[in-house]
Amino acid sequence: MGISGEKGVYRQLQLHDVECRLGDSYSAIYEQELANARVLYRRLDGFRPDVVYVWNMHGVSKSLLLGLQDQGTPIVYDLYENWLSPHVFELDPWLTWWQRNQSLRSKCYQFYMRLVGSARRRLRHFPIGTAADLNLSNASICSESLRDDLIANGLAQAASLRVVYPALDTNQMLFKIAYQPALKFMWAGRLNASKAPGLALKAVSILKERGIEVSLDFYGMGEPTERRAMRHLINAAGLSDSVRMQGIRPGKLLAKYSEYDALLFTSCCNDPFPITPLEAMLSGLPVVLARDGGIAEITEDGETALLYEAGSAEALADAMVRMINLEDGGYAMAKKCMEELQAQHTLDAAIPKIEALLSASIIS
């Protein structure tokens, strides 16, 4: 999914869903590896880069990285997702087919390929390996939370990775200028269990039981079934008069932050570093944040945001009451937050760090 007007980005690699394998068909898996390799190497031949910058390989053939590394191509990793966790990395269909295939037919075919020598040729062009086989000497990671998670999942190399927090282009933002006691809340993200949109809905219901009326708009991305399920939850809770589902196109959310009193961030999946609350805070919107993942590393409760224990609707409702009771509508908190974030999380602050990584990879 791209953004209208996007230039210089070629979305041509075929993706596989890490939650479900391509199957035991060698031909189907091989065709995807071949297609992705052709896309990458044609681009490399035409562009001739000094370095390849890798930021996300969820659902993308891992043989591409191992092949580049074998050829000596400098690679810089900007890690902001958990795709490098061994339990995720090793779901790669090509690796799975060769090393953890339970199909008798496939095992017989593997034996035949090794016998005639074609297996060696295939694996030379499309190598297999583990996350530990990647050279991460030129890599950064988006948060201490993700680094700790990778270490806990068995990737010892992560211990030496430097943290470079994500940054945004503030020139594209509409800044909030008017503040009032918070009664109009927004939620934005994917409508799945890890983002916990139902928690925000339950918190609104708790406030209603306490005699506190607030409004909440959901800007939810997801499958039609997920959107229908969310609407059903809203109706079942009897909150259709105060809670609405809003449609949003990619790239258009930035214009919405200034229209609300506060953002609710309810993730409970140890999110490495979510961008939505960072956008909101840099736009001057006060936020109520779950103590979850990397975003909690750059905020201080009561100073730059209001934090609550992830997964607790009661704690979220209490934090919303705290926000409502701020006489200045959260202005002082939002102002301090913006000032601190602009020192570290704008492009001007982040670009020199990325440039240093790219330059170091070429010199080494």
Q: Would you report the helix, strand and coil content of the chain in percent, each value rounded to 5?
A: 50, 15, 40
Share of the chain above pLDDT 90, in %: 79
- Looking at residue 127, its pLDDT comes to 96
What CATH code is carried by the domain that includes residue 257?
3.40.50.2000
pLDDT in tens, 97-116: 999 888 888 899 999 999 99
CA distance 163 to 142: 6
14 lies in some domain:
no
DSSP string, 240-266: TTTEEEE---TT-GGGTGGGSSEEEE-
- Looking at residue 19, its pLDDT comes to 45
Strands (E), the chain: 52-54, 75-79, 139-141, 162-163, 184-190, 215-221, 243-246, 262-265, 287-290, 306-308
Residues 34 and 86 placed together within one structural domain of the fold: yes
Nearest of 215, 187, 209, 196 to residue 324 by alpha carbon: 215
- Tell me the three state secondary structure of residue 40: helix
Residues 243 and 135 placed together within one structural domain of the fold: no
| Residue 349 · residue 164 · CB < 8 Å | no
Q: How many CB atoms lie within 10 A of CB 10?
A: 8
What's the structural domain count of the chain?
A: 2
How far, in Å, are 15, 18, 56, 334 from residue 60 at the CA level?
Answer: 5, 9, 8, 38
- Looking at residue 20, its pLDDT comes to 47
Q: What is the pTM of this model?
A: 0.88
Residues 83 and 225 placed together within one structural domain of the fold: no
Residues 316 and 357 placed together within one structural domain of the fold: no
11 lies in some domain:
no
pLDDT in tens, 14-71: 998 644 455 568 998 999 999 999 999 999 999 999 999 999 999 999 999 999 999 9
pLDDT in tens, 196-220: 999 999 999 999 999 999 999 999 9
CA distance 49 to 70: 16
DSSP string, 131-160: GGGS--TTEEES-HHHHHHHHHTT-GGGGG
38 lies in some domain:
yes
CA atoms within 13 A on the CB side of 196: 21
Q: Which of 21-25, 181-185, 188-192, 281-285 has the lowest mean pLDDT?
A: 21-25
Using the predicted structure, report yes or no on whether residue 6 has a pLDDT greater than 80.
no
Residues 77 and 114 placed together within one structural domain of the fold: yes
Q: CA angle, 74 as apex, 72 and 76 as ends, to 5°?
A: 140
Residues 67 and 205 placed together within one structural domain of the fold: no
Domain range for 281: 170-345
Mean pLDDT, the chain, as a whole number?
92
Residues 202 and 92 placed together within one structural domain of the fold: no
CA distance 347 to 356: 14
Using the predicted structure, report yes or no on whether residue 121 has a pLDDT greater than 90.
yes
| Residue 204 · residue 216 · CB < 8 Å | yes
Q: How confident is the model at residue 313 (pLDDT cuts 50, 70, 90)?
A: very high
Calculate mean pLDDT across residues 286-298. Answer: 95
Nearest of 258, 254, 233 to residue 244 by alpha carbon: 233
Q: How confident is the model at residue 251 (pLDDT cuts 50, 70, 90)?
A: confident
